[in-house]
A = this chain, B = another copy of it.
Amino acid sequence: MSSSASPLLSEKQVDRILEANNDDYGGVIVEMTNEPMEAHVFVSLLRASLSHWRQLGKKGVWIKMPIELVNLVEPAVKEGFYYHHAESRYVMLVHWLPSTANTLPANASHRVGIGAFVMNEKNEVLVVQEKVGKTHGKGVWKFPTGVVDEGEDICNAAVREVKEETGIDSKFVEVIAFGQRHKSFFEKSDLFFVCMLQPLSFNLWPQEAEIEAAQWMPFEEYTAQPFVQKHEFLRYIADVCLAKKDRGYSGFSPVPMASSFSQTKSYLYLNRQGLDF
């Protein structure tokens, strides 16, 4: 694809232009294929396209440029485009055509992580020592943690991380707290969900690549660690875990629903106890 004569153009206008789809906000999206293209060909197509889109009153113009066409990034920038976001295999370029203020959607701003509070019937919590990171080699026992993948539900990510790091099967119960922190990674922010899970198996198979050791540890022993005691954040989390264990603390549990905002099933997390379900 990447170029075609538009059937809507009159004879006089049959410059070849880039193939584009309309978005919901009065703009167009061009998805370039991996097919090699010389810069001068691209520039000629792009200029004709921009002129056409301007005549149509289009606002935002998006070009998803695969890394194979990295030779076209500089020419696009010279025609007024700038970066919107990038993933390993492509960069998304954007150009706002009108003279009015740019109302383009924001880029993703947060990474999302989970920490897993998993307790067995002997009041032992599931803890690990990591092979990498700031706590490596310090003898610190931590809850299993991990990153929620793009497109992954928080509740599923927690179950997956517990399984991957320790070999334990578990059932998601609740988000018992969450934290937000800034500038964790360049300018990006983090959201961190502390999840309670119920263990369904008990034999440990620590992950070779990332985990030094895993064990079931008495809860009091976990909280007594200097690492936990000296970090306000971890002390609070420990208090919440204790309240959950002993005093019926109520977190947010996931309610699956067919979202009108998305094609996929979504979860709403809320205090079911408080809602009297």
Q: State the A residues within 8 Å of B (CB).
A: 24-25, 67, 70-71, 73-74, 77-78, 82-92, 101, 103, 105-112, 132, 134, 147-154, 176-191, 209, 230-233, 236-237, 239-240, 243, 247-252, 255, 257-264, 266-271, 274-276
Closest 3 pairs between A and B when the two form their complex, measured CB to CB: A86-B86, A249-B274, A83-B86
- A109 and B181: CB pair below 8 A? no
- B67 and A77: CB pair below 8 A? yes
- A233 and B257: CB pair below 8 A? yes
In angstroms, Cα B271 to Cα A240, docked, is 8
Q: How far is the CB of A51 from chain B (nearest CB, A)?
A: 23
- A107 and B87: CB pair below 8 A? yes
- A109 and B111: CB pair below 8 A? yes
Question: Given that A83-B88, A87-B83 are contacting pairs, would A233 and B275 also be in contact in the complex, using a CB cutoff of 8 Å?
Answer: no
Closest B residue, CB atoms, query A234: B260
In angstroms, Cα B276 to Cα A248, docked, is 11
Number of copies of this chain in the oligomer?
A: 2
A240: chain B residues within 8 A (beta carbon) = 270-271, 275
A189: chain B residues within 8 A (beta carbon) = 108, 112, 150-152
Question: Given that A151-B183, A177-B270, A267-B180 are contacting pairs, would A232 and B252 also be in contact in the complex, using a CB cutoff of 8 Å?
Answer: no
- A177 and B83: CB pair below 8 A? no
A264: chain B residues within 8 A (beta carbon) = 181-183
- Taking A106-B149, A109-B148 as known contacts, 13 extra A-B pairs with beta carbons closer than 8 A to each other, sorted by chain A number, are A73-B73, A83-B86, A85-B86, A86-B92, A87-B107, A110-B150, A112-B191, A151-B187, A177-B252, A183-B262, A230-B260, A240-B275, A252-B252
- B275 and A239: CB pair below 8 A? yes
A112: chain B residues within 8 A (beta carbon) = 109-110, 189, 191
In angstroms, Cα B86 to Cα A83, docked, is 6
| Complex A-B: 6 CB contacts under 8 Å | A70-B78, A83-B89, A85-B87, A108-B189, A177-B252, A250-B271
Question: Given that A77-B67, A91-B83, A183-B264 are contacting pairs, would A109 and B107 also be in contact in the complex, using a CB cutoff of 8 Å?
Answer: no
- B182 and A151: CB pair below 8 A? yes
Residue of A101, A180, A236, A263 ringed by the most chain B CB atoms within 10 A = A180
- A271 and B268: CB pair below 8 A? no
